[in-house]
Amino acid sequence: MSIIVGTDFSEHAREAVRVAAALARKMGMPLVLVHAAEPGMLRRDWPAEQHGGAITDLEARLEHEAATLRREGLIVEPRVLLGMPDEALVAHAEQLHARMIITSALGWRSEKRWRLGSVPARVAQAAHCPYLMVRLAGPFLEWCEGRRPLRVTLGDDFSHSAEVALRWLPELRRAGPVELTVAHVYNPATEYGRLGLYRANQGPSGVEALLERDLRERLARIGEPWAELRLSMGDGSVVESLVALAEEAKADLLLLGTHQRRGFKRMRHGSVSLPSLQLAPVAAVACVPVEGPLEAAVPSDIPSIQRVLVSTDFSPLANLAIPHALSLLPRGGELILAHVIESPLPVVYADFWPAVTLGDAGDEAGLRRQLESLVPRDAAQRGITVRVEVLSGVQAAQALCQAAERHAADIICMGSHGRTGVFRAVLGSVAQEVVARSRRPVLVVKHPALP
């Protein structure tokens, strides 16, 4: 394993080389010093047979830089590669199974650069290992010398790519201590719909409290419970809001996961990591790809179920799910027992309007008592807390999924009537709809006599 750093012998490239050398020294890794010579950049007035002399001159210049680094106690391999800088760096890194690629923030292809983009953007798009783009070496040198921690801001959108980036932090800590800030940018309208928080009096503070809870639980599971959290509403560009949060945190490094989407997928889903390389006013930006060697290192943690949402429409088949839900919980767990009253509002407005609330408080109290009567007596003896919820929604499946998000349920449990054919088409299936909509695991309990 090695660290690969690209250089074009410019002052900006020297900043990247200094950071790469410091990291290689702290991590005990060899350093590969690469210069990519584009065929079009060799002097056009030279005959083809003299191109070899130009390569020799570049090798001599690169060897001089390598010798300087070796005097600092590093193992350095200089390599002059023929090809486009981004393609040569990525291909060589893949060949060596490199741990990291490092370049400076500046660097362009000589041809069609307006269309193809900068070297950092193209390396981030193609690299199979983490990529570090360096603007300023100072903060990294102070960190590697033990004079201060590295201030890292990580953009977390609850995606798998963000989790892969989070799990790369131990690699950075091999060089020194890290102060982590997790930044999350949310769209209020999207979150109101996801959580079912339509009332104005709940406002941003209510949404952010739930988001902070979910982020804390996620970070604790990954092993980063002490991170500072920063949240921001982002009605427009996610990148601009994320960059602003990194500035507020005085970050040295902006750390992002990347899906490396191309073509139509990139047009449809967009990219946060690539614009951040250009816009983030920080000393460096790191992009960790989802598909790469790090993916294999991500452990498959056995999930712990602490909170279960179970629903019933008071039918015998639906009530069968309640004891099954309780059986999933350990001592100290929590059960949310819910019943949904569907609103008469047309389904077409389901995602835009709140459901009609219950008109009679006595009806709600009666439904709560009915739910409480369904709780098995031994639930308390097992140390399980039971909470009853009467929900209203345009669609029962939507209301249940929203409740699961609000309560951060680890799993949804519900019974199934086992309808098939015409009956399923006419009457529908709430269980099937919940399975299709839910971002959380769903356990469907069927009666033994059903097919």
Task: Give residue 337's pLDDT.
Answer: 95
Task: Give residue 40's pLDDT.
Answer: 58
Model confidence band, residue 53 (pLDDT cutoffs 50, 70, 90): low
Q: At what angle do helices 188-195 and 396-406 cross, to 10 degrees?
A: 110
Q: Is residue 328 predicted with pLDDT exceeding 60? A: yes
H/E stretch holding 10 reads: none
Sign of dihedral through CA atoms 272, 164, 131, 256?
positive
Task: Give residue 239's pLDDT.
Answer: 87
> Stretch 210-233: mean pLDDT, rounded?
92
d(CA 451, CA 449): 7
Task: Give residue 49's pLDDT.
Answer: 46
449 vs 217, residue with greater confidence = 217
Residues in Cβ contact with 60 at an 8 Å cutoff, skipping those fewer than 6 apart: none
In CATH, which superfamily holds the domain spanning 135-301?
HUPs (3.40.50.620)
CA distances from 128 to 23, 100, 258, 307 (A): 19, 9, 11, 37
> Stretch 378-397: mean pLDDT, rounded?
89
d(CA 253, CA 22): 16
Mean pLDDT for the chain?
A: 81
Q: Are 234 and 204 in contact (CB under 8 A)?
A: no
Task: Give residue 39's pLDDT.
Answer: 67
CATH class in words for 1-131? alpha beta
Q: Is residue 293 predicted with pLDDT exceeding 70? A: no
d(CA 209, CA 197): 12
Lowest mean pLDDT, pick from 21-25, 119-123, 381-385: 119-123
Q: Is residue 267 predicted with pLDDT exceeding 60? A: no
The upper half-sphere exposure of residue 112, i.e. CA atoms within 13 Å in the direction of its Cβ, equals 3
d(CA 20, CA 4): 8
Residues in Cβ contact with 246 at an 8 Å cutoff, skipping those fewer than 6 apart: 153, 181, 183, 254, 280, 281, 282
> Stretch 161-182: mean pLDDT, rounded?
93
- Chain centroid to CA 133: how far? 19
Q: Are 403 and 197 in contact (CB under 8 A)?
A: no
Convert 432-450 into a string of H (helix), E (strand) and C (coil). Answer: HHHHHHCCCCEEEECCCCC
Task: Give residue 130's pLDDT.
Answer: 94
116 vs 383, residue with greater confidence = 383
In CATH terms, are 1-131 and 307-445 the same topology?
Answer: yes
Which residues face 289 on adjacent strands?
258
d(CA 425, CA 40): 65
> Stretch 298-327: mean pLDDT, rounded?
86
Q: Check: CATH 3.40.50.620 for 307-445?
A: yes
d(CA 157, CA 136): 27
> Stretch 155-173: mean pLDDT, rounded?
91
> Stretch 353-359: mean pLDDT, rounded?
49
> Which sequence spans correspond to the domains of the chain?
1-131, 135-301, 307-445
Helix/strand/coil for 341 = strand
Q: Is residue 371 predicted with pLDDT exceeding 80? A: yes
Helix/strand/coil for 14 = helix
Helix/strand/coil for 395 = coil
pTM comes to 0.81
Among 91, 73, 74, 72, CA closest to 34:
91
Q: Are 36 and 89 in contact (CB under 8 A)?
A: yes
Q: Are strands 334-342 and 307-311 parallel, antiparallel or unpaired?
A: parallel
Angle ∠(12,16,18) on CA atoms, nearest 5: 110
Q: What is the pLDDT of residues 31-52, one digit of tens each?
A: 999 988 776 555 444 444 444 4
333 vs 189, residue with greater confidence = 333
How many angstroms separate the most distant Cα atoms in the chain?
94
Contacts 24+ apart (CB under 8 A), 207-211: 210/405, 210/406, 210/408, 211/184, 211/186
Task: Give residue 260's pLDDT.
Answer: 61
Task: Give residue 309's pLDDT.
Answer: 96
Lowest mean pLDDT, pick from 148-152, 384-388, 429-433: 429-433
Convert 171-237 into a string of H (helix), E (strand) and C (coil). Answer: HHHCCCCEEEEEEEEECHHHHHHHHCCCCHHHHHHHHHHHHHHHHHHHHHHHCCCCCEEEEEECCCC
Residues in Cβ contact with 13 at an 8 Å cutoff, skipping those fewer than 6 apart: 6, 7, 103, 104, 107
Q: Is residue 203 predicted with pLDDT exceeding 70? A: no
Task: Give residue 30's pLDDT.
Answer: 93
Q: Is residue 174 predicted with pLDDT exceeding 80? A: yes
Q: Is residue 12 predicted with pLDDT exceeding 50? A: yes
CA distances from 342 to 66, 364, 400, 405, 419 (A): 71, 13, 11, 19, 20
Task: Give residue 44's pLDDT.
Answer: 42
Convert 252-277 into a string of H (helix), E (strand) and C (coil). Answer: CEEEEEECCCCHHHHHHHCCCHHHHH
> Stretch 80-101: mean pLDDT, rounded?
89
CB atoms inside a 10 Å sphere around CB 132: 26
Task: Give residue 198's pLDDT.
Answer: 63
Helix/strand/coil for 11 = helix
d(CA 402, CA 404): 5
Task: Give residue 58's pLDDT.
Answer: 80
